[in-house]
């Protein structure tokens, strides 16, 4: 699996977690979502602007405890 495939898998996992509202369940679950965001954000140099926007929106949803 190349790096882009790994990033795409993490995006899929992040989107599923946000849709399921995992970041709203508990502080521990929110931390798991934040860890997933961080694991993607470290590849900023290879992300498209849309992917960076998605990451920023995900961060805001977790920080502000907003429904996705």
DSSP states of 20-54: TTHHHH-HHHHHHHHHHHHHHHTTGGGS-HHHHHH
Q: Among 14, 64, 16, 56, which residue's Cα sits nearest to residue 39?
A: 14
Distance CA 47, CA 30 (A): 23
Q: Which residues of the chain fall short of a pLDDT of 50?
A: none
pLDDT for the residue numbered 67? 96
Instruction: Give me the residue label for tokens 């996992």.
Output: 13
Q: Answer yes or no: are the C-beta atoms of 6 and 47 closer than 8 Å.
A: no
pLDDT for the residue numbered 61? 97
pLDDT for the residue numbered 1? 83
Is the pTM higher than 0.95? The answer reads: no
């Amino acid at each position: 699996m190349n790096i882009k495939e790994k990033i795409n898998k993490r995006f899929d996992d992040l989107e599923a977690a946000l849709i399921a509202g995992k970041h709203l369940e508990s502080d521990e679950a929110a931390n798991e979502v934040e860890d997933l965001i961080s694991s993607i954000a470290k590849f900023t140099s290879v992300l498209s602007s849309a992917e960076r926007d998605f990451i920023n929106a995900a961060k805001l949803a977790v920080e502000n405890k907003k429904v996705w």
